[in-house]
Structure 1
Amino acid sequence: MSEGAGAGEELSDRQKREIAVWFLSNAPAGEINYVAKDVRALLGDDAVYEAAAAEAFPEYNKAHLVSLELPDRSGDIIITPYGELDKNNYLDPRTAQVATVDHIKQHCTKLRPAADEELPSAYIEEYRNALDIELSKYVGEAYPKGICAVYCSSGKDIEGPGADFGLVVIISAARRSPQNFCNGSWRSIWTLEFNDGSQFVEIKGKIQVGAHYFEEGNVQLDTNIDCKDSTILQSPEDSAVSIINIIRHHESEYLSSLEESYLNLSDATFKDLRRKLPVTRTLFPWHNTLALSLTRDLAKELAIGK
């Protein structure tokens, strides 16, 4: 109950909206529509629900790096603050297009070519495109159904060497398997600061992993880690190879740490949770689902689904 509402006191529409926003915003990965259905039914007030949804869905979509298919089927766009032009329009840097998004329905309604001022200069695009090519190779190997993108975060109008600029790498992979009562997601954001003076690229990463198992219970994994590294500023192609190798190293290292953590858990920890899955009739594979299947094996366990 919101602050200021006593026991048995009727909540105001504002308080109801705030509570609804909290539940929607905190829905596990891929489950906001299930939560929304229940929230709408509990509220019994379409106007309050629609106000809450209008506030919660955009933030949820950005926080979870939700990917949506482009209307022309040329690919997918990631909903992220780095591509946000305004609350409903998002840049797809790979195709140089802008998609208009319906956040609540989670689909793109229309597409237009990006204007020149919305795109980086030719010099910056060399670095962005080279990195995008190497990133796509890596994600194709590690997350066969993962989505990735590279955005310019600063200095997009720089025409040549002599100034600093920034790029951001986004990786989003998810598995939706509600029939097996489990969902999961992998999200990583890598900010790259290209320093012309020192001729170095400073690399900062944040990896977030979430998994939710909810057969007759509610078990969640929600973990993240921050990473730092650097590499020499080289040509666009050489910088891209070096940066992606660093990203691959840190993500693989984090995977290994997750594997070790969950394989070393006592069997007794989950002894009451190891029920048989309703479809496969096999024990829930904790060691796979919470580690391997959230990274390189997303193709089999999380990203592709069964």
Structure 2
Amino acid sequence: MPSNNPALASFVESAPPGELLDVTKAIKSILADDPSALQSLTPAFEKYNEEQFATVKLPGGSEEVIVSPHNSLGDGRYYDVASQSSFAFDHATQKASAVQSYVLESSRLDLIKSLLKSLSLHTTEHYPKSSLGVYPIENDSKIAILTVASKYSPNNFWNGRWRSLYIFSPGNGSLAGSLKVDVHYYEDGNVRLLTDKPVSVSLPSSANASEVAKQIAIAERKYQEDLNKAFGSLSEGAFKALRRQLPITRQKIEWEKISGYRLGQDIGGGRSR
């Protein structure tokens, strides 16, 4: 059921990485802690967490697991293959509870476990910290491969998240997905980077988990290199073009004397009338 307050729902769904709880706090102040109004935003919280591949540490667990549409059991419960467990997830507080044993039943279980093993080597090597999920989808005909890596530095006014999603079809060897980067920098303003890079690779129908992991590693390394090049071009070109290094007078403003400047003539370089 959609929220009866589309404006507040849009705030939730567009929250930057690592800042959902801050957005929720602000919404509560607007709603004056009205429980029914906040409850109406539950679909927006669920949509946000599933689309962002929210991660949560299970009670008693040491690793964070993923929340997504691909490992949803319905009624607010999700499962994790590696820990062989299922759990309830509160989308508003981003907390997990009611952990239970869960054994995945799939005809592709061996391939899924092999993919987890091969891909964990890749993520350990290339990400400081990440969570990985591999799930059977579409009646066991395909496999969803998810990686999410988040890094939050609110003391330095930035937060960021990398998400990758691949759909692997063992029957024909197709591997298609997207790479998404979301970074928010908010010191003395707001700057946000949002990217979405499609990926498509054809593998032999006999491709094993190691070959799939190799293609994913190649795609992600290439995208990171492209981003690095783009940042270099921006810093040397577009960013510098956004504003002058100096005023029209070609001299730095002496701010302690600002009250004595004649705006049109001294700062703007114009001629007094």
Is TM (by shorter chain) over 0.5?
A: yes
| Residue 20 (structure 1) aligned with residue 5 (structure 2) | no
Note the C-alpha offset of 1:202: 0.6
Q: 1:266, 1:147 → 2: CA distance?
A: 31
Contact preservation (8 Å) 1:16, 1:48: no
For normalisation by structure 1, the TM-score amounts to 0.74
Q: 1:155, 1:41 → 2: CA distance?
A: 44
In structure 1, the gaps of 5 or more residues are 1-13, 157-164, 274-306
Corresponding residue for residue 251 of structure 1: 220
Corresponding residue for residue 229 of structure 2: 260
Corresponding residue for residue 169 of structure 2: 193
Contact preservation (8 Å) 2:86, 2:101: yes
Corresponding residue for residue 111 of structure 1: 99
Contact preservation (8 Å) 2:181, 2:196: yes
Corresponding residue for residue 45 of structure 2: 57
| Residue 166 (structure 1) aligned with residue 142 (structure 2) | yes
Contact preservation (8 Å) 2:3, 2:44: no
Corresponding residue for residue 220 of structure 1: 192
Contact preservation (8 Å) 2:53, 2:66: yes
| Residue 29 (structure 1) aligned with residue 17 (structure 2) | yes
In the superposition, relative to structure 1, how do residues 228 and 33 fare at CA in structure 2: closer, same or farther (>3 Å)?
A: same
Q: 1:49, 1:270 → 2: CA distance?
A: 42
Residue 209 of structure 1: which of 181, 188, 191 is its match?
A: 181
Q: 1:189, 1:101 → 2: CA distance?
A: 21
Q: 2:220, 2:234 → 1: CA distance?
A: 22
Corresponding residue for residue 126 of structure 2: 142
Corresponding residue for residue 120 of structure 1: 105
Note the C-alpha offset of 1:266: 4.3
Corresponding residue for residue 38 of structure 1: 26
Q: 2:68, 2:102 → 1: CA distance?
A: 17
Note the C-alpha offset of 1:42: 2.1
- Structure with the bigger RCO (C-alpha within 8 Å, sep 6+) is 1
Contact preservation (8 Å) 1:40, 1:49: no
Contact preservation (8 Å) 2:3, 2:42: no
Q: 1:50, 1:206 → 2: CA distance?
A: 32
Q: 1:155, 1:124 → 2: CA distance?
A: 11
How many residues align? The count is 242
In structure 2, the gaps of 5 or more residues are 243-273
Residue 31 of structure 2 aligns with an amino acid whose one-letter code is: L
Residue 222 of structure 1 aligns with an amino acid whose one-letter code is: L
Sequence identity (%): 28
